[in-house]
Amino acid sequence: MIFIIREAQGLTSKARILTSLKEQWIKKYQAGGYQFIDPVMLKAHSSDGYFDFSETEASGPLVESFWQDAENHNVGRNGICFATTRQNGLRIGLSLYSVSNKEKVHEIKRLHGYDLYHISEIVFDSFSFLSSGPSIPEGVLNIDEIRFLRNLAISSNPSDLLKANARWGSTETMQKSIRLKLGVRSAYQAVAIAASKGWFNSLPYDKNDIISTPRALNGIQDFEPVEAE
C-alpha cells in the first residue's frame, strides 16, 4: 500500500492511497479510522528509510484490535515499510504486508532490503507523478467544508462542483459559510488558504482517495530469502 502522509506545500494529490489490498479491508480501514491507529502509518510519519513492522512502538488494546481485524481480512501483521520526504515536501510511505512470521520478514529485509528500498524510490516517483500540514484547526472549517475545498482543488470541472448539491444543502450554503469563516470573497481563495496551511493532510481517507493496483503488488509474501552467491 502506497500512502501520502503529508502533501507538498500548495499542492493537492488526486489520490492519497494506492493499494491492491481487498476492498473489504479498505472499507473497514476507512470506516474504522484506522489511519489514526495503524502503528505502521504512525511510525512512517517520523521515520525515514525502511523498517519492519515489529519496530513500531505503538501498543495497547486499540492497536491489538486493529491487528486482529487486519488478520481477519488476511492482512498480515508483519512486513516492511518505507517512508521518505520528497524534495517538494511530499511525505510518502509504502507498506508491504506479509502473512509470514517476523523472523522470515527479518530475513527478507536483511537479504533484499537494499533492493526494495531503491524499488520503493521508483514507486514513489511514479505515484507522485500520477497522483499529481498541521492538523485541521478546531473551530475554523469542519471536515465537510475542507473536503469540499479539496474536491474543488482536484476537480476537472470546478464550476460544476460549485453549483452541485452537498449532503446537507446546496454548495452555495457551504461556500458562504467558508467565505465568512476565512474572510475571503471566493471559494478559490479558500482553496489556496487551505492548501497553504496543509489542512487537507488531516482529512480522514475517503473512498474517492483510494485507487487499486494489480494483485502482484500486494505484499512481500512471495519473496523467498536467497543468499547471494
The string of pLDDT tens digits covering residues 98-146 is 877 888 888 888 888 778 877 888 887 777 766 664 445 555 788 888 8
pLDDT band at residue 223, thresholds of 50, 70 and 90?
very low
* Encoded amino acid at 155, one letter: S
Determine the pLDDT at residue 69. Answer: 92
The CATH label, of 3.30.9.10, 3.40.1710.10, 1.10.10.10, 3.30.450.80, for the domain at 2-134+209-217 is 3.30.450.80
Query: Are the CB atoms for 157 and 125 separated by under 8 Å?
Result: no
Taking only the tens place, the pLDDT of each residue in 4-35 is 887 776 666 666 777 878 888 888 888 888 88
Query: Are the CB atoms for 91 and 85 separated by under 8 Å?
Result: yes
Cell reading at 58:
505503538
Distances in whole angstroms, Cα of residue 127 to Cα of each of 17, 150, 153, 218? 9, 19, 19, 15
For the chain, where do the domains classified as CATH 3.30.450.80 start and end? 2-134+209-217
Query: Are the CB atoms for 3 and 93 separated by under 8 Å?
Result: yes
